[in-house]
Amino acid sequence: MFHRYDYEAEFYPDLSRLPLDLRRKLDVTGVKLGLKDWLALSFEERSVLCHLPCDNAEECQVFANYLDFLSHKYRNEPISRIAPSDPALWSELSVPHAVRERSDAVTVDRWRGWPSHDRYALYKTATSKSQPDAFELVLKQLSGN
């Protein structure tokens, strides 16, 4: 499933940037993929990666295996691995400190009502140094405003 966020809409037609939902998949699988390597892939390959599910161990393994195949195809080397992000950072149990710091509007009840990919989006944008406005845009979208 490919979860889209409005603030990235201009990049979706040609997938010229790594979408936030794809970054979630990379984070949970522990795969490092730079923009240069992303753009080396065909549009169809980028689209497949965006649409591949990555919500359980088997799906994450398929996702990582496909990226490894593509890395061998384009770079003649295996994918670059990093430590996977801990999904507990955006779990439904409690609102992360970074999110609470950015907005009082994110209550525990609201947080728990959002699916994991949306909680990730809020968490990731709350901690982002490169896109400081993205948090408010994602929160606005999730709040239906």
pLDDT band at 132 (very low <50, low <70, confident <90, very high): confident
What is the model's pLDDT at position 1?
84
Mean pLDDT value of segment 18-39? 97
Mean pLDDT score of the chain, rounded to an integer?
Answer: 96
Q: What is the pLDDT of residue 116?
A: 95
Q: Tell me the average pLDDT across 123-133.
A: 93
The pLDDT > 90 percentage for the chain reads: 95
* Residue 145 reports pLDDT greater than 70: no
CA pair distance 18, 9, nearest whole angstrom: 12
pTM of the model: 0.94
In angstroms, the CA 3 to CA 19 distance is 9
In contact, 95 and 111? CB cutoff 8 Å: yes
pLDDT tens figures, 89-123: 999 999 999 999 999 999 999 999 999 999 999 99
- Provide the sign of the torsion angle of the four alpha carbons 127, 100, 105, 88, taken in this order: positive
